[in-house]
């Protein structure tokens, strides 16, 4: 064999050894806790929930799943447990579509059999979204635990870096230094994506921010975005595929679904800048309410017309995202079963919302 | 298909390599046809709907080339054939790349409500320019007759098809005709693998690694702080370089495994001492194309200073528009055109500094060039003029500095990247890659274990850095 040929084999062989060493490190440390709950190493969690959730499903003990979008991202699992009882895992994902939510829920239900799903449901999740395997943000293989997903996890440089941090952190002398350097590490599962304890809540959630957001989204130059992706027929189809079909497949699981309390400005923005979108949202959520109230394993709550929350703009950081105080109120209302959608009149609360949105006058 | 994907590295590339060398025993033509078919498969993976367009483009240009090279046409008929060929290429490029832009501008000016949405075929700008050069040279009598398989491979050759380097037929087709392409050469495969590894590392570890910092400036809501604006602009400056030069390295490395030397595309551009120097180092194959097929035919510098500046502006404006159908790209091209005019005027009017100030002048020139390039990149990256002006306003307002813990960490990361681009040797220096002399590598790699195992680590890191989906920035041009 010539010298270059021998060197080529050495090069490829050494690369292969390094790749397998990285995979072995990832398997041993298992930073996402995909194979086993972390015992030898103190766990570290990531705010990248589409990645982290695949591990949470495997590593956490739970009987309740909390699903939703950014509207449910700041909830603490401990608050959910205190309010609703049981043991929950939060799988909410910022900007998630119904397709993503249904996929994650399906894998969770299939692999871990929780008893209850608490589902924060926005109307915009039903806009068209890519197929799960074409979704570049959601590592579907990790959830399915198929060969491609597991290989992608084991042979990942990012995971190897996380594993190395965790390994170093396990050495007592190095731990303070690692904690200083790995500033984004989260060691308590309860802290994933919650607001930092020193967050200035009043500076984040106030009427000025909510109103500034309202002005921004109703600006004629941007107003077209309000209706982007909305289409009644396609959204109904997506609802049927992602929500109704999933609920029908799991009749023994309790689904507690709620429409979150957006600020009244969200509805007024659509009323003034994109009335066609508002019509679609009304019709869509009317359909959703009628369909969901037919399932015996669903309890549907509509918090959209609670004026003492939605008209108090100090509760909001923009036109939809509410403060941690409202998080707790939502949990409390769910626990007490307040604002249920009446099976005999599933659109009554929607009618209330319509009346509020039509009557509201913005003071500029 | 992406070079930075498991499917390409572990499946496509080994199969095509083994197939080429196995089929090399069957004659000269079979491996060329195999490579051309493999290139179409590479292109069709994810872009299958554009394969017919690519094939039609190859057939059309080959036919026009045949008329220009083989048939004894009258001068007027030859000119008509050339105009039909180049015009046809530009019409196709115009329809697929610029029709939407044109319609949007008509709508903006005249309120036509006309919108055109046409998917941009990947690589169309590259394979169109490649073939325009072929037609122009055929018209000038500078092209020998090529066999169709060799011509088709020249256009579709997968290492360069999607994002360059922009190849020249006189450089490539003779290489496809050589016997080396049919026989494995362990030295070239070894050097090609190392160059590929360096490119992969640049892409997956360096370019993708700094990408999150770019969003601090681009896409963030106004007003931007001074440090966020600079961090974002500098991060994009380095991301674009490592992304595109990484891609070019990978293309050169892959091609080398087949025994084919591709031209260099980058030569440490951020070490440039002037804008003229920058354009000799950045996207070198595009610069050469624009010089040979646009700037010089326009008259170049042969008609005096003012026409030269006009020619420079026209060349750079069209160069900007080549990158994308948006006014931000035109602004980027215009800025570089102005920079080049100023640079040439300076060279003409201002004498060289005395030797004792040479070092200071060099530092000042390098710094000024780099800052000018960064400012222009803001237009290149921004989605709109408003977004570009937001970033530039932030960069020009030191009063709004934040400089918290995160910002300091980000600045340190930027400093590491700056150190690499300013002080580290580039790939061709490391690998002693000489495109002109068709030489690569040296004895050390074969004898000393350290460079070999360092290259193995670079390759492993590059593979470990592969993310689920990370396209190259230049794929969209």
Q: Which residues of B touch A22 (CB under 8 A)?
A: 460, 464
DSSP characters over B147-196: -HHHHHHHHH-HHHHTT-PPP-HHHHHHHHHSGGGGS--HHHHHHHHHHH
Note the pLDDT of residue B222. 63
Note the pLDDT of residue A57. 95
With CA atoms as reference, report the closest residue to A275 among A361, A357, A359: A357
Calculate how close chain B gets to A141, using CA atoms only, in Å: 11
CB atoms within 10 A of CB B114: 11
The SS3 assignment for A121 reads coil
Residue range A107-143, pLDDT digits in tens: 999 999 999 999 999 999 999 888 998 888 899 999 9
- Residues A5, B205: C-beta atoms closer than 8 Å: no
Mean of pLDDT over chain B = 90
Considering only alpha carbons, which residue of chain A is nearest residue B470?
A136
- Residues B460, A19: C-beta atoms closer than 8 Å: yes
- Residues B189, A4: C-beta atoms closer than 8 Å: yes
Chain A (113-152) residues lying within 8 Å, Cβ to Cβ, of chain B: 136, 139, 152
Calculate how close chain A gets to B170, using CA atoms only, in Å: 30
Q: Which residues of A touch B467 (CB under 8 A)?
A: 158
- Residues A7, B452: C-beta atoms closer than 8 Å: yes
Question: What's the number of CA atoms in the CB half-sphere (13 Å) around residue A59?
Answer: 22
- Residues B193, A12: C-beta atoms closer than 8 Å: yes
User: Rounded CA gap, A122 and A92, in Å?
Assistant: 12
- Residues A18, B457: C-beta atoms closer than 8 Å: yes
Note the pLDDT of residue B9. 95
By the 10 Å C-beta count (0-12 exposed, 13-18 middle, 19+ buried), A142 is classed as buried
Q: The tokens of B336 are what?
A: 């570089």
Q: The tokens of A226 are what?
A: 């309000």
Residues of B catalogued as catalytic:
323
- Residues B456, A8: C-beta atoms closer than 8 Å: no
Note the pLDDT of residue A278. 94
Give the nearest partner residue to A4 out of B190, B463, B465, using CB atoms. Answer: B190
- Residues A5, B465: C-beta atoms closer than 8 Å: no
- Residues B457, A14: C-beta atoms closer than 8 Å: yes
Note the pLDDT of residue A169. 86
Q: Does A310 touch chain B (CB under 8 A)?
A: no
Is pLDDT above 60 for B235? yes
**Which residue did the predictor score with more confidence, B109 or B455?**
B455
Q: Which residues of B touch A7 (CB under 8 A)?
A: 190, 445-446, 452
End-to-end CA distance of chain A: give it in Å, rounded: 82
Q: Which residues of B touch A19 (CB under 8 A)?
A: 460, 463-464
Q: Which residues of A touch B452 (CB under 8 A)?
A: 7, 10-11, 14
Calculate how close chain B gets to A119, using CA atoms only, in Å: 28
User: Rounded CA gap, B451 and B449, in Å?
Assistant: 6
Give the nearest partner residue to B190 out of A8, A14, A136, using CB atoms. Answer: A8
Chain A (156-185) residues lying within 8 Å, Cβ to Cβ, of chain B: 156-158, 160, 183
User: Rounded CA gap, A12 and A164, in Å?
Assistant: 24
Q: Which residues of A touch B445 (CB under 8 A)?
A: 7
Question: Which of B460, B466, B470, B471 is the best substitution to test chain A (most A C-beta atoms within 10 A)?
Answer: B460
Calculate how close chain B gets to A70, using CA atoms only, in Å: 18
Is pLDDT above 90 for B108? no
Contacts of A189 (CB under 8 A, 6+ apart): A43, A45, A56, A60, A77
Say which DSSP state A259 is in.
Answer: E
Q: Which residues of B touch A14 (CB under 8 A)?
A: 452-453, 456-457, 460
Q: From first to last of its 364 residues, what are the pLDDT tens digits of chain A? A: 788 889 999 999 999 999 999 999 999 999 999 999 888 888 888 888 999 999 999 999 999 999 999 999 999 999 999 999 999 999 999 999 999 999 999 999 999 999 999 999 999 999 988 899 888 889 999 999 999 899 999 999 989 988 998 898 888 898 888 877 765 568 889 999 898 888 888 999 999 999 999 998 888 777 677 778 888 999 999 999 999 999 999 999 999 999 999 999 999 999 999 999 999 999 999 999 999 999 999 999 999 999 999 999 999 999 999 999 999 999 999 999 999 999 999 999 999 999 999 999 987 6
Is pLDDT above 60 for B446? no
Q: The tokens of B246 are what?
A: 């990484």
Give the nearest partner residue to A22 out of B186, B189, B464, using CB atoms. Answer: B464
**Predicted TM-score (pTM) of this structure:** 0.85
């Amino acid at each position: 064999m010539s010298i270059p040929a021998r060197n080529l084999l050495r090069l490829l062989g050494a690369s292969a050894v390094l790749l397998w060493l990285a995979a072995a490190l990832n398997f041993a440390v298992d930073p996402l806790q995909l194979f086993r709950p972390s015992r030898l190493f103190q766990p570290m969690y990531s705010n990248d929930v589409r990645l982290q959730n695949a591990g949470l499903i495997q590593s956490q003990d739970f009987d309740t799943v909390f699903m939703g979008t950014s509207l449910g991202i700041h909830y603490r699992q401990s608050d959910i447990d205190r309010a609703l009882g049981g043991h929950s895992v939060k799988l909410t994902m910022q900007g998630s579509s119904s397709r993503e939510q249904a996929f994650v829920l399906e894998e969770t239900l299939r692999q871990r059999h929780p008893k209850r799903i608490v589902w924060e449901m926005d109307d915009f999740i039903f806009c068209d979204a890519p197929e799960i395997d074409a979704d570049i943000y959601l590592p579907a293989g990790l959830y399915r635990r198929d060969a491609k997903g597991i290989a992608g996890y084991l042979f990942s440089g990012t995971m190897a870096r996380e594993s190395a941090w965790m390994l170093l952190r396990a050495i007592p002398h190095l731990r303070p230094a690692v904690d200083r350097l790995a500033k984004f590490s989260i060691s308590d599962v309860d802290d994933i994506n919650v607001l930092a304890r020193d967050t200035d809540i009043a500076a984040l959630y106030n009427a000025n921010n909510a109103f500034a957001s309202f002005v921004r989204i109703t600006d004629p130059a941007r107003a077209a975005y309000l209706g982007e992706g909305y289409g009644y027929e396609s959204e109904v189809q997506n609802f049927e595929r992602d929500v109704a079909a999933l609920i029908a497949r799991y009749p023994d699981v309790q689904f507690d679904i709620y429409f979150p309390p957006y600020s009244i400005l969200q509805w007024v923005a659509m009323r003034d800048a994109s009335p066609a979108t508002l019509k679609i949202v009304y019709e869509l959520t009317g359909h959703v309410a009628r369909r969901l109230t037919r399932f015996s394993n669903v309890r549907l709550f509509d918090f959209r017309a609670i004026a003492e929350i939605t008209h108090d703009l100090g509760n909001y950081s923009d036109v939809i995202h509410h403060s941690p105080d409202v998080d707790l109120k939502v949990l409390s209302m769910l626990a007490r079963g307040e604002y249920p959608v009446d099976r005999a009149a599933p659109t009554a609360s929607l009618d209330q919302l319509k009346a509020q949105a039509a009557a509201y006058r913005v003071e500029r | 298909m992406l070079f930075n994907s498991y499917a390409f590295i572990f499946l496509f590339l080994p199969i095509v390599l083994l197939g080429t060398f196995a089929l090399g025993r069957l004659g000269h033509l079979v491996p060329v046809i195999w490579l051309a078919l493999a290139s179409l498969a590479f292109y069709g993976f994810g872009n299958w709907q554009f394969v017919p367009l690519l094939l039609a483009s190859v057939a059309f240009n080959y036919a026009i080339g045949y008329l220009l090279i083989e048939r004894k046409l009258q001068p007027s008929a030859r000119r008509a054939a050339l105009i039909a060929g180049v015009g046809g290429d530009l019409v196709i490029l115009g329809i697929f790349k610029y029709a939407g832009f044109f319609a949007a501008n008509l709508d903006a000016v005249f309120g036509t409500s006309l919108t055109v949405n046409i998917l941009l075929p990947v690589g169309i700008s590259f394979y169109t320019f490649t073939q325009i050069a072929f037609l122009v040279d055929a018209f000038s009598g500078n092209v020998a007759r090529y066999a169709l398989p060799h011509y088709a491979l020249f256009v579709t050759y997968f290492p360069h098809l999607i994002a360059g380097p922009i190849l020249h037929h006189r450089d490539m087709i003779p290489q496809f005709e050589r016997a080396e392409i049919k026989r494995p050469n362990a030295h070239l495969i070894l050097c090609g693998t190392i160059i590929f590894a360096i490119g992969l590392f640049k892409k997956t570890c360096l370019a993708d690694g700094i990408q999150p910092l770019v969003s601090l400036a681009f896409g963030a809501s106004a007003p931007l702080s001074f440090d966020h604006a600079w961090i974002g602009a500098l991060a994009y400056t380095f991301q674009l370089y490592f992304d595109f030069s990484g891609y070019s390295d990978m293309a050169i490395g892959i091609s080398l495994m087949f025994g084919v030397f591709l031209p260099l595309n980058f030569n440490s551009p951020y070490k440039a001492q002037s804008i003229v120097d920058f354009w000799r180092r950045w996207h070198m194959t595009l610069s050469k194309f624009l010089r040979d097929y646009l700037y010089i035919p326009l008259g170049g510098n042969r008609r005096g200073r003012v026409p030269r500046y006009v020619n420079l502006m026209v060349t750079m404006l069209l160069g900007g528009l080549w990158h994308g159908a948006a006014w931000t790209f035109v602004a980027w091209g215009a800025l570089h055109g102005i920079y080049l005019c100023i640079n040439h005027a300076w060279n003409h009017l201002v004498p060289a500094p005395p030797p004792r100030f040479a070092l200071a002048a060099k530092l000042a020139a390098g710094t000024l060039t780099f800052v000018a390039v960064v400012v222009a990149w803001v237009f290149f990256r921004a989605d709109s003029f408003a977004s570009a002006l937001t970033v530039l306003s932030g960069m020009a307002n030191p009063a709004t500095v934040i400089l918290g813990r995160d910002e300091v960490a980000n600045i340190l990361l930027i400093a590491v990247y700056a150190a690499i681009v300013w002080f580290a040797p580039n790939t061709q220096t490391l690998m002693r890659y000489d495109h002109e002399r068709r030489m690569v590598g040296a004895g050390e790699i074969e004898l000393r274990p350290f460079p070999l195992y360092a290259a193995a680590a670079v390759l492993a890191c590059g593979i470990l850095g592969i993310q689920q989906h990370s396209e190259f920035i230049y794929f969209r041009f």
